[in-house]
Amino acid sequence: MGPQYILVFAVCFLASLLGPLCGIGGGVIIKPVVDAMNVMSVSTVSFLSSMSVLIMSLSTLAQNAASGQSDIDARAMSPIAVSSAVGGVIGKMLFNRLGSVFPDAELVGAVQAAVLIVLAVLVLAYTLNKARIKGLKLENAWAQALIGFCAGACWSFLGIGGGPFNLAILVFFFAMESKPAAQASLFIIAFSQTASLIYTLATGSVPAFLSVVLLGMAAMAVLGSVVGRRLLRRMDSAAVDKLYVFALVFIIVICTYNFIRFSVL
């Protein structure tokens, strides 16, 4: 394992801080940043990023439950969470299919980067103007399930947890406040990433990777969730919102760089 993986672990830790703080799974940071480092294949980055997101979300949810600080209404969130898990499997199938139709890994990476740029710009525009945008409050279980399915499929295809996008979806479609939405986002992420992992294992499509890298990223994901929860106690909603906007801008910048790099290659 080369010294460049130390930077991968640092990225995983910093990205995992965002889970407890603003419901961002971290994969949306880990995936494009590690892609830009060019230290492993696109499929390997997607898998390890998804694993890190899953571990961080489960760790944060467990800590919240143990401390009695969980605001999640599991029954109310079940339709979107379960359908997101189903969508996650479909998204993984689409990713594998795209990889077989277009064996050029750089092309797949360029597609992922382009989609992330579009989504991040849309969510950033909504976030900056949400005070002037009237949201919805969907209570129909089928409508919730449809949204969850589409979101889960998209995030799995992109190899990310979908946190920043989940947060915007929950705020707009379900009229949730930022902090409860952040916890609900992690709940949804845990479902979708678990389903994606089961599918990957069942189909034998786990890419090659170094075990020590997975262990290191898992450790950083847990540490990030612990430190992130502690930081949250010292931050008000305004500070969390600013961090969220900064994360979106960073995602746009790094994905733009990746798109150009993959396209040139």
Give the pLDDT of residue 227: 93
H or E, element range at 224: helix 211-232
Q: Where are the domains of the chain?
A: 4-68+75-264
Kindly tell me if the per-residue pLDDT of 215 is higher than 90: yes
pLDDT tens per residue, range 131-162: 788 877 887 888 888 888 888 888 777 766 66
- pLDDT tier, 217 (very low <50, low <70, confident <90, very high otherwise): very high
Sign of the dihedral defined by the CA atoms of residues 99, 35, 231, 214, in that order:
positive
Whether the Cβ atoms of residue 80 and residue 219 lie closer than 8 Å to each other: no
Contact 29, 224 (CB under 8 A): no
Element (H, E) at 242: helix 237-264
Q: Could you read off the pLDDT of 249-264 as tens digits, one per residue?
A: 988 888 888 888 877 7
